[in-house]
Amino acid sequence: MHPVLKLVVQRIALGLLLLLAVSAVIFLGVEALPGDTAQAILGQSATPLALENLREKMGLNEPALTRYFHWLGGVLTGDLGTSLTNGTDIAQAIGQRLGNTLFLAGCAAVISVPLALILGIIAARYAGRWPDKVISGLTLATISLPEFVAAYFVIYLLTQVFPIFQPVAMVFPGMGFWSKLHAVALPVIVLVLVVLAHMMRMTRAAILNVMQSAYIETAELKGLRPIQIIWRHAFPNAIAPIVSVVVLNMAYLVVGVVVVEVVFGYNALGQYLVDHVTKRDLPVVQAVGLVFAGVYIGLNILADVIAIVANPRLRHPK
């Protein structure tokens, strides 16, 4: 087998193994924590009988490992169980909301990735000079903001000072693409702001790192024009680090979505998760947690695979 293919297969296998381990942590780790699910649902005033009945009903009296494998079997066949609080099917609920979350994250990605790359390249091109200082200064400010803080500044600015948008983002089935887009404008702006700084800083660092290589000096001493140097010599070597920067920030975006959804009352996966954490609805929390973990691990695998494929030493072995 070609070494690249071998490494890629290994990396994916490792990722799947990790996901399996994560599922065990999400299920068994939570079991091990002090705290009783039945008690949590019924509250402190519950009678012992009611507690016992609930435990029986939920299968809590069986060994944890048995329940884990039962749960895992369900996950693999698309059965995530039912919600404790309202008895609805979890898989169905996630299915309805996942699309909304991906739509929001997707919009943010489409705007932030090109913008971060352009700003990162400008900052690297003028490293240490004023465009770099301005860009780096602004991003230092946004890097220090949690998502919800950025969100409220943006809301105040764009709904009160300049009343352009609505402060809530409602999307519902049957809504047209453009009205959907208009509805998510504010949360997208917030997400872009938050993810942009990281991505831009890492892009800048990746390019500067490549530009300091001896082979860039060689190209300069060949009398090549700056654009030729960047295009022929810097770009092929910077592509792997930049792609992995982008993918890693997409993973970061997935988390940022949780908070932003809550801020804007956007009916999607993050909101669903937070709601059910508050209600201590463990099956929902475990299922949604696993979905987020899956997306996050998947993106990380993707970043590594791209780095492997882009490495000339691996593509053309000795």
Partner 1 sequence: MRIPVSALFGLVLTGVFLFTAIFAQWIAPYPIDAAVGGVWEGPSARFWLGTDTIGRDILSRLIYGGQITIFVALASSLLSFGLGSFFGFLAATRGGWTDQILSRVVDLMMAIPALIVALVMLSVLPLNLTVLILVMGVLDSTRVFRLARAVAMDIAVMDYVEAAKLRGEKQRWVIFREILPNALSPLVAEFGVRFIFAVLFISTLSFLGLGIQPPLADWGGMVKENKDGLIYGKGAALMPAAAIALLAISVNLVADWVLTRTSSLKGGRGG
Partner 2 sequence: MAEDLLLDIRGLVIEATSYPPGEPPKEVTLVHGVDLQLQRGRVLGLIGESGAGKSTIGLSAMAYGRGGVRLTGGTIRLNGREIRTAGPAELRKLRGREVTYVSQSAAASFNPAKRLMDQVIETTLAHGLMGRAEAEVRAVGLFRKLGLPEPETFGQRFPHQVSGGQLQRAMTAMALCPKPDLVIFDEPTTALDVTTQIDVLAAIKEAIRDTHVAALYITHDLAVVAQVADEIMVLRHGRKVELGETEQIIHAPREAYTRALVSVRSLEHVEKAPAPPVLKIEGVTARYRGTGFDVLKNISVDLPAGQTLAVVGESGSGKSTLARAITGLLPPTKGRITFAGRTLSADLSGRTKDDLREIQMIYQMADTAMNPRQTVGTIIGRPLELYFGLKGAARDRRVQDLLDQIEMCKGFAQRFPAELSGGQKQRVCIARALAADPKLIICDEVTSALDPLVADGILKLLLNLQAEAHVAYLFITHDLATVRAIADKIAVMYKGEVRRYGQKSDVLAPPFDDYTDLLLSSVPEMEVGWLEQVIAHRKMESAGN
Which chain residues interact with partner 1 by CB under 8 A?
18-19, 21-22, 25-26, 30, 33-35, 37, 40, 140-141, 143-149, 152-153, 155-156, 159-160, 167, 251-252, 254-255, 258-259, 262-263, 273-274, 276-278, 280-282, 285-286, 289, 292-293, 296-297, 300
| 216 within 8 A of 177, measured Cβ to Cβ | no
- Cβ of residue 177: shortest distance to partner 1, in angstroms? 27
The tokens of 290 are what? 């696993």
218 CB-near residues (< 8 Å, 6+ apart): none
| 51 within 8 A of 39, measured Cβ to Cβ | yes
272 binds, among partner 1, partner 2, none (CB under 5 to 8 A by kind): none
The count of other CB atoms within 10 Å of the CB of residue 106 is: 14
57 or 316, CB closer to partner 2? 316
HSE-CB of 255 using CA atoms within 13 angstroms: 12
54 binds, among partner 1, partner 2, none (CB under 5 to 8 A by kind): none
114 binds, among partner 1, partner 2, none (CB under 5 to 8 A by kind): none
313 binds, among partner 1, partner 2, none (CB under 5 to 8 A by kind): partner 2
User: How many residues bind to partner 2 according to rule CB under 8 A?
Assistant: 21
The tokens of 11 are what? 């990396």
Residue type, 292: F
- Cβ of residue 318: shortest distance to partner 2, in angstroms? 5
- Cβ of residue 230: shortest distance to partner 1, in angstroms? 27
280 binds, among partner 1, partner 2, none (CB under 5 to 8 A by kind): partner 1
**Spatial separation of the C-alpha atoms in residues 57 and 41, rounded to whole Å:** 13
5, with CB counted inside 10 A (0-12, 13-18, 19+), is exposed
Which of 33, 49, 221, 227 contacts partner 2 by CB under 8 A? 221
- Cβ of residue 153: shortest distance to partner 1, in angstroms? 7
| 237 within 8 A of 213, measured Cβ to Cβ | yes
- Cβ of residue 60: shortest distance to partner 1, in angstroms? 13
293 binds, among partner 1, partner 2, none (CB under 5 to 8 A by kind): partner 1
The answer to whether 236 contacts partner 2 (rule: CB under 8 A) is yes
112 or 139, CB closer to partner 1? 139
For residue 170, give the 3-state DSSP assignment. Answer: coil
Give DSSP secondary structure letters for 41-99.
Answer: HH-TT--HHHHHHHHHHHTTTS-HHHHHHHHHHHHHTT---B-TTT--BHHHHHHHHHH
Residues within the interface to partner 2 (CB under 8 A): 213-215, 217-225, 228, 232-233, 236-237, 312-313, 316, 318
